[in-house]
Amino acid sequence: MYRYDEFDHAFVAERVAQFRDQVERRLSGELSEDAFKPLRLMNGVYLQLHAYMLRIAIPYGTLNSKQMRMLAHVARTYDRGYGHFTTRQNLQFNWPKLSDMSDVLAELASVEMHAIQTSGNCIRNVTADHFAGAAADEVADPRPYAEILRQWSSVHPEFSFLPRKFKIAVTGAERDRAAIQVHDIGLHLKKNDKGEIGFAVYVGGGQGRTPMVAKLIREFLPEEDLLSYTTAVMRVYNLHGRRDNKYKARIKILVHETGAEELARQVEVEFAQLRDTELKLPEADVAAISAYFAPPALAERAEGWESLARWKKADPDFARWVQQNVQPHKNPDYGMVTISLKPIGGIPGDATDSQMDAVADIAEEYALDEIRVSHEQNLILPHVALADLEPVYRALVAHGLATANAGLITDIIACPGLDYCALANARSIPVAQEISSRFGSPERQEEIGELKIKISGCINACGHHHVGHIGLLGVEKKGAELYQITLGGSGDEHTSIGEIIGRGFEPNKVTDAIETIVDTYLGLRLDKAETFLAAYRRVGPQPFKDALYGGSTAEAA
């Protein structure tokens, strides 16, 4: 993984010192809240319902054991013993004191972490496929390009005060595990007929109050033009993006109002000016960054095949976990392990300090010291020998981290919702907990198959409800919580926005409604191989409306 050079260390250290001074001046009263707020936001510090919240960047979701142990240490020392992994592959602490914040950032800097650009109208943490560098179906590793974009965008003077926040995601496989089509810019790494590396460029995707699927504006952008073309997109957005209305300020609105074709033309005009400038990526620089992400030297571990078969036969729970949470690796002797942060009835994405320490220990001993955070709020060990799966599983079981539910109905994404968030209108976590408990039986989950439920506590859609196969949006109506259900959303290579199915449900009726939807699906699917999403796309909303509302009208709440 990428290691800081002298410049990086000096830059982050200077930023910590600068923020320490700003915090001290704030606490002494020298700086007003109005003056301080933009400064704290630039360093990832929010004020939520109960306390300050610190959002820490985990670039493209990649971290090592030392960094994970530091997160555990911060949770234990400065917070309430846990952290929350987010849908942007970041980590949030919910209870740090402002007076401790500079110490926290200094501790993070000691392991090459920071919270810069995790808030504000700038280019946020660049996200990537959490299986990058390991997936069997990958054309190329997206992380070097995500790192190049990270370096280019960090405190970029031209793009630090954009009309609104800006999110970039990169995937290196046909199967999109980074949800690139709901990002401001989505980059799909691919090879052309000559075998050269480049990108399909999608622009203008996003969720929030106006969900949009991104438009493809470049079929194949050569690798060397990554920064010049991205700069061209940013310039068009910076110039023409709306600053008069916060709710219309994202690039998706510009793309929608301008038209993808015209926007692409404007980008090409800018690009023509930029492509032969210093922004052209030199091959040597790409090679230098790529070297940080060189595939690890994986020893031959063919003995794992025999052992794995034996272990699976002896322990059905282990067999179920392997079936659900281990994916094929480029190297057939290895697997990619999903560590579920979705225990049955638990809080999606939360991990305690001791769980973080345990993951660090396991990664160090069995997984070449590499850990990933997925946008689905799980952790990943990308390189685990099949021969080590059993001890890894036992270690995970000991820490409540071996729930065999990756991609199943209890692998729910949920934002913090009204239990923490100052913007939320309704709770998300308790809803997720109740659904998880209702469907917690392994046999029932297995019978239902792949089904992604995503829950947001407000229209900002941090819980990605628009792209949930079943999405839940919490709203406030007449002073009470109400949940709108959307069906048919998807955040993969066939991205779609879910459709509102009808009027909303009170909190105590939501889980029953989900059960009705699931039972309807089970009753109409062609066979077990037809997933919920495939069945919904085949039959449309009507059978589900009929099941939920009978003959009554189902007008949206």
Partner 1 sequence: MVDKVLTANRLADGIAVWLDAGGEWTTSLQDALVARHAEAVSALEDIGKKAYADNKVVDVNVVEVQETEGILWPLRLRERIRAQGPTMVYAKGYAPADPEFIAV
Residue 420 within binding range of partner 1, rule CB under 8 A: yes
Contact partners, residue 278, CB within 8 Å, separation at least 6: none
C-beta separation of 538 from 529 below 8 A: no
Tell me whether residue 395 or residue 431 sits nearer to partner 1 (CB atom).
Answer: 431
Residue that has been written with the tokens 């709108």 in this structure: 484
Residue 38 within binding range of partner 1, rule CB under 8 A: no
Our separate counts of H helices and E strands in the chain read 18, 20
Grouping H, G, I as helix, E, B as strand and the rest as coil, residue 526 is coil
Residue 316 within binding range of partner 1, rule CB under 8 A: no
In which element (H, E) is residue 52 found? strand 52-56
Residue 547 within binding range of partner 1, rule CB under 8 A: no
From 92-100, 264-272, 332-340, 520-528, span contacting partner 1 (CB under 8 A): 92-100
Contact partners, residue 39, CB within 8 Å, separation at least 6: 19, 22, 31
- Rounded to a whole number of angstroms, the minimum distance from the CB of residue 482 to partner 1 is 11
- Rounded to a whole number of angstroms, the minimum distance from the CB of residue 431 to partner 1 is 10
From 164-172, 347-355, 435-443, 445-453, span contacting partner 1 (CB under 8 A): 347-355
- Rounded to a whole number of angstroms, the minimum distance from the CB of residue 466 to partner 1 is 23
C-beta separation of 483 from 450 below 8 A: no
One symbol per residue from 358 to 397: x for binding partner 1 (CB under 8 A), - otherwise; what is it? ----------------------------------------
Residue 418 within binding range of partner 1, rule CB under 8 A: yes
From 374-382, 415-423, 482-490, 494-502, span contacting partner 1 (CB under 8 A): 415-423
One symbol per residue from 61 to 90: x for binding partner 1 (CB under 8 A), - otherwise; what is it? -------------------xxx--------
Pick from 335, 337, 341: nearest CA to 304: 335
Given 3, 245, 278, 479, the residue binding partner 1 (CB under 8 A) = 479
CA distance 17 to 35: 18
Tell me whether residue 184 or residue 481 sits nearer to partner 1 (CB atom).
Answer: 481
From 44-52, 164-172, 204-212, 225-233, span contacting partner 1 (CB under 8 A): 44-52
Q: 180-205 burial by CB neighbour count: b if 16+ within 10 A, else e? A: bbbbbbbbbbbeeeeeebbbbbbbbb
C-beta separation of 248 from 259 below 8 A: no
Tokens of 124: 């946020």
Contact partners, residue 536, CB within 8 Å, separation at least 6: 469, 487, 488, 521, 544
Instruction: Enumerate residues 450-469 that contact partner 1 by CB under 8 A.
Output: none
Neighbour-count burial of 277, counting CB atoms closer than 10 A to its CB (0-12 exposed, 13-18 middle, 19+ buried): exposed
Tell me whether residue 232 or residue 472 sits nearer to partner 1 (CB atom).
Answer: 472
Instruction: Enumerate residues 430-449 that contact partner 1 by CB under 8 A.
Output: 430, 433
- Rounded to a whole number of angstroms, the minimum distance from the CB of residue 510 to partner 1 is 15
Tokens of 159: 């793009």
- Rounded to a whole number of angstroms, the minimum distance from the CB of residue 438 to partner 1 is 16
Residue 428 within binding range of partner 1, rule CB under 8 A: no
Within 13 A of 49's CA, how many CA atoms are on the CB side?
Answer: 12
Contact partners, residue 395, CB within 8 Å, separation at least 6: 358, 361, 362
Please list the residues that pair with 200 across neighbouring strands.
Answer: 188
The contact set with partner 1 (CB under 8 A) reads 26-27, 29, 32-33, 47-52, 80-82, 97-99, 347, 350, 352, 418-420, 422, 424, 427, 429-430, 433, 476, 479-481
